[in-house]
Amino acid sequence: VTFFPAMLTLPAGGSATFFCNISMENDSVSEYSLNWYKETNHSQAQKIADISRNKPQTKTEKYLLTNHTPAFKIEILNLHQNDSGSYYCGLITFFEPNKVMESNRSQLVVTAAPEKTNATDEPEAEEDNPPDHIKAMLPGILLLAGAVVLLIFGYITITYRRGDVQKPPSENAPPEEKPPMVSVSTVDYGVLEFQWEQRTQVLPETQTVDQTEYATIIFPEEKPVTPERGKKHRD
């Protein structure tokens, strides 16, 4: 009868699995059962479970026994630190002189359960390491954003070239044109008096009654001549 593995070290909350392998000469006619034992600090062994040859499986709250003749499996469920100790199996045969055969001892060490990471730390880890599918989509998103920017830029460029974009009123208003300088002539009417030469003697009877003549003089706008100014000029 052999018992293995020889050593197991597991954290609390898990399960431990041991195997008990038997070998008998006349297995077909022999009747037997298997017992499992536990020793703590070399104290007296305590029976914890058993299974018979014809029973395929036995389950309790703490142990699960499975028959895989000639090997038998025992699972210790929901480990606690007080489950640490030495385990072995004992083969009990019927109608045989050597009734009980014990296997070698295997050691089980149950350690404290690992501390759970803070739930608040998990989102930070996720932010630091984005999922793989987001990393794969990132180049496509950047290319799409660049294409949209290029389309907008091209539309604005074409619109400005066509002159469809309205500029502010201050830009659209045409520059104020100053009125052209036009030279305007004015007409001023005045009376001119002609003096007769003293040496010319004209008989009174030959003179006409009206010796007044009229003339029209056009002066540029820059230097208009009024009657008063003309009079001064004559003086």
Instruction: Render pLDDT for 158-174 as a digit per residue (tens, 0 to 9).
Output: 887 766 545 555 555 55
pLDDT given at position 125: 46
Whether residue 170 lies inside any domain: the answer is no
Whole-angstrom CA distances from 91 to 56, 106, 128, 173, 226 are: 16, 16, 57, 111, 153
Whether residue 187 lies inside any domain: the answer is no
> Mean pLDDT, to the nearest integer, of 41-56?
88
Q: Please state, in angstroms and rounded to a whole number, the distance separating the CA atoms of residues 51 and 164.
A: 94
Q: Which residue has the higher pLDDT, 17 or 215?
A: 17
pLDDT given at position 17: 95
User: pLDDT tens, 196-231?
Assistant: 555 555 555 555 555 667 777 766 665 555 666 666
pLDDT given at position 207: 53
Whether residue 191 lies inside any domain: the answer is no
pLDDT band at residue 46 using 50, 70 and 90 as cut-offs: very high
Indicate the range of 92-101, 132-141, 199-208 predicted with least confidence. 199-208
pLDDT at residue 179 is higher than 70: no
Q: Please state, in angstroms and rounded to a whole number, the distance separating the CA atoms of residues 111 and 83.
A: 10
Four-residue CA torsion sign, 223, 229, 230, 235: negative
- Report the 10 Å Cβ neighbour count for 37: 21
Whether residue 120 lies inside any domain: the answer is no
Domain holding 66: CATH number?
A: 2.60.40.10
- What is the C-alpha radius of gyration for the chain, rounded to an integer number of angstroms? 65
What is the percent of the chain where pLDDT is above 70? 57
pLDDT band at residue 25 using 50, 70 and 90 as cut-offs: low
Whether residue 232 lies inside any domain: the answer is no
Whether residue 26 lies inside any domain: the answer is yes
**Could you list the residue range(s) of the whole structural domain that residue 86 is in?**
2-111
